[in-house]
Amino acid sequence: MLKPASLHTCQANAAAAARLDFGDESCFDDAQRGFVGSIPDARITTPDGRVVWDLSAFAFLETLQSPDSVHPSLWRQARLNRIHGLFQVCERLYQVRGFDIANMTIIEGDTGLILIDPLTYCEAAAAALALYRRHRGDRPVHTVIYSHSHADHFGGVEGVVTPEQVQRGEVRVIAPAGFMDAAIAENILAGVPMRRRAMFQFGPTLAADPRAHVDSGLGKAMGRGTASLIAPTQSIEQPVERHTVDGIDIVFQLTPETEAPAEMNFHFPQFKVLNLAENGCHTMHNLCPIRGAKTRDALAWSKYLDAALNDFIDDTDVVIAQHHWPTWGRERVRSFIAEQRDLYRLMHDQTLRLMSHGLTPHEIAEAFRLPASLEKRWHVRPYYGAIAHNLRSVYAHYMGPYDGNPVNLDPLAPQEAALKYVEYMGGADAALARAQADFAAGHYRWVVQVTHHLVFADPGNQAARQLAADAMEQLAYQSESSTWRNAYALGAKELRFGAPKPPPGAAGTVTPKVVAMLPMDMFFDFLAMRVNAQKAEGLQLRIDWVMQGEPQRWKLTLSHCALSHAPGSHGAAAMATLRLDRATLAGIVAGGGFAQALQQGKMPVEGDARALHQLLGTLDSFNPMFNILEP
């Protein structure tokens, strides 16, 4: 069903190719410099033989010339992101790249290894460490460092160390201040919609194909496997801290509220290496990913990069990050950091300037252009972020989602509005005929908007769905941003074939491993956001919740359809008291849920058990594959 690029798309991509300097091969030289070895196609399997990572499907990227169905700049990035293996950055410092969307940095300490960011999944992390040991010897792990609070930088930790090693003090785990709260919180309260939207950002259900998935901007793709988390044993709390870890001097620079709520850069003066974590990669990054997240502070981001430049450049010959490849040479490093700094500062300042002239987010996105001095720099091209989305994110960071126009204060709901739009357009047939003419003229953005109303007014209108899919497909082919390409391509697929069915148990957003270390106040916040206000109407409940083996007791109050919690006890006013331990709670989360556990006697209740039944009866469950492209 994948269709060829249209003449308009071919022309658009050819024009893009003419604007950029494809004769500059320096990134390919950097990406392959220091190569030590790899495994065929970076193919990684589980102990039972299940493939969790394999780059062989992307063999089509060996072609130098980009096909008409891929933006030529994104094709170049996709080829770079397919380079994989163990690479030496300098003496005693290595990276494994291409085994995951992120990198694992490996430093040889005096007695063992310092591992920075053990990837997303245990299988990938174990394979990366095994590759290193195959070439460098079987050194033990001394310390694990998490650069920041996103799962692709800590999820594979149990593939390189065990919780028991950490508990015994054999391995240290270092992270930035606020790491645990940030690492857990982002995937708890907004976990269901974030996971669904992440499918459009990364395209995991898209085939690796020149007309479908070619890249994810930061790396090739999101993998699969076993996720884990081991809590840090040491937290970096001060803006700048200097420590010696197994004989290696490290200067930690905290950069909160940049690419992640909890993040830090590292400088290694012995090696003259600066690690920018995910604050300076070979792409324009997201100020708010399309999967959804709290908006990021572009101004703070630029200032932390400026501080890193000022504080470390005189003692830095190489800059690395936890994605992509290094940049060597002090002057090249200076330019790289300065241009990354200027990129985020520019998007920030120009958004504020234009909104002060009264422009709305969409108008700002249409008006903004990168200056010529930045536009041709490969490392600021929008492979992962996108200019228009970033500018809207800056606007929302300061002004919220409302653009100031009263017309947009209380618009009709999408389906209701769609019915009126179609009526005003003279009916579905008339609108579809005009949309087909616009498609033939190459007006794909407009065709997507028009057919959106047709589909929302009548999801069964197959002609409208197919035309919308055709237009989205052409927009995908023209997108330099991998995330936009994936979103358009998956949109086209779901319009043609519908959304996939959720896998068994996919509705859960809290895994047993997370429950084992989740602060209870955060767990109660998770319960509270599941309360269905209509089901809770008229209920007044007071419940004490006791986690056995933990000193803190909690009191839960349901009133006016809202569930509140606080440390302490309702005392004699408590209607019921529930007693659980962590293992039981984790089992309930992994099993059939609270109601079933209550029926099976796994949740001992003192007092009026009906109160707990009533509370649990208000909790919603979610369909993780909810509709996005239709009502």
How many helices (H) and strands (E) would you count in the chain? 23, 21
Distances (CA, A) of 156 to 5, 100, 137, 166, 490: 39, 10, 21, 15, 27
Q: Which of 443, 462, 497 is the last residue of a domain?
A: 497
Strand partners, 318: 273, 328
**405 in any annotated domain:** no
Which pLDDT band, with edges at 50, 70 and 90, does 327 fall under? very high
Give the integer Cα–Cα distance in Å for 31 and 324. 8
- State residue 598's pLDDT score: 79
Highest mean pLDDT among 183-187, 270-274, 577-581, 616-620: 270-274
Instruction: Supply angle C-alpha 594, 600, 601, rounded to 5.
Output: 90
Say yes or no: 260 and 345 in one domain: yes
Give the integer Cα–Cα distance in Å for 448 and 412. 19
Say yes or no: 182 and 137 in one domain: yes
Whether residue 511 has pLDDT greater than 80: no
Could you tell me the residue range of the domain that residue 260 belongs to?
7-375
Give the integer Cα–Cα distance in Å for 22 and 194. 36
Strands 562-567 and 104-108: unpaired
Which pLDDT band, with edges at 50, 70 and 90, does 256 fall under? very high
* Per-position DSSP letters for 178-228, written without gaps between them: THHHHHHHTTTTTHHHHHHHHHHHH-TTS-BSTTSB---SSSS----S---
pTM reported for the whole predicted model: 0.95
Percentage above 90 pLDDT, the chain? 89
Q: What is the mean pLDDT of the chain?
A: 95
pLDDT per position as a tens digit, 135-193: 999 999 999 999 999 999 999 999 999 999 999 999 999 999 999 999 988 778 888 99
**631 in any annotated domain:** no
**444 in any annotated domain:** yes
Whether residue 320 has pLDDT greater than 70: yes
Tell me the three state secondary structure of residue 475. helix
**404 in any annotated domain:** no
Whether residue 507 has pLDDT greater than 70: no
Which pLDDT band, with edges at 50, 70 and 90, does 1 fall under? low
**477 in any annotated domain:** yes
**392 in any annotated domain:** no
- Of residues 262 and 604, more confidently modeled: 262
Give the integer Cα–Cα distance in Å for 40 and 427. 56
Give the integer Cα–Cα distance in Å for 15 and 203. 26
**388 in any annotated domain:** no
Say yes or no: 428 and 532 in one domain: no
Say yes or no: 89 and 61 in one domain: yes
- State residue 508's pLDDT score: 55
pLDDT per position as a tens digit, 332-347: 999 999 999 999 999 9
Distances (CA, A) of 390 to 187, 277, 298, 299: 22, 20, 9, 13
Per-residue b or e along 12-47, where b marks 16 or more CB atoms closer than 10 Å to that residue's CB: bbeebbeebeeeeeebeebbeebeeebeebbebeee
- Is-contact 454 436, C-beta < 8 A? no
Say yes or no: 146 and 25 in one domain: yes
Which pLDDT band, with edges at 50, 70 and 90, does 621 fall under? confident
Which pLDDT band, with edges at 50, 70 and 90, does 357 fall under? very high
- State residue 583's pLDDT score: 85
Q: What is the mean pLDDT of residues 17-44?
A: 97
Q: Which of 351, 375, 399 is the last residue of a domain?
A: 375
The strands making up 562-567's β-sheet, listed across from edge to edge, are: 562-567, 553-559, 541-547, 576-580, 605-607
Say yes or no: 554 and 485 in one domain: no
- Of residues 586 and 323, more confidently modeled: 323
Whether residue 288 has pLDDT greater than 90: yes
- State residue 332's pLDDT score: 98
DSSP label at residue 135: H
pLDDT per position as a tens digit, 54-94: 999 999 999 989 999 999 999 999 999 999 999 999 999 99
**597: domain CATH number?**
3.30.1050.10
Say yes or no: 422 and 281 in one domain: no
- State residue 592's pLDDT score: 66
pLDDT per position as a tens digit, 234-249: 999 999 999 999 999 9
* Six-digit token string for 462: 């197959």
**46: domain CATH number?**
3.60.15.30
Q: What is the mean pLDDT of residues 281-289?
A: 98
Q: What total of structural domains would you count in the chain?
A: 3
- State residue 503's pLDDT score: 66
**324 in any annotated domain:** yes
- State residue 515's pLDDT score: 78
Percentage above 70 pLDDT, the chain? 98
Whether residue 95 has pLDDT greater than 90: yes
Say yes or no: 595 and 559 in one domain: yes
Say yes or no: 355 and 426 in one domain: no
- State residue 505's pLDDT score: 53
Say yes or no: 363 and 224 in one domain: yes
Q: What is the mean pLDDT of residues 446-461?
A: 98
Q: What is the mean pLDDT of residues 562-588?
A: 93
Q: What is the mean pLDDT of residues 251-269?
A: 98
Q: Which of 433, 466, 497 is the last residue of a domain?
A: 497
Q: What is the mean pLDDT of residues 253-257?
A: 98
Say yes or no: 457 and 587 in one domain: no
Whether residue 389 has pLDDT greater than 90: yes
pLDDT per position as a tens digit, 536-557: 999 999 999 999 889 999 999 9
Say yes or no: 533 and 611 in one domain: yes
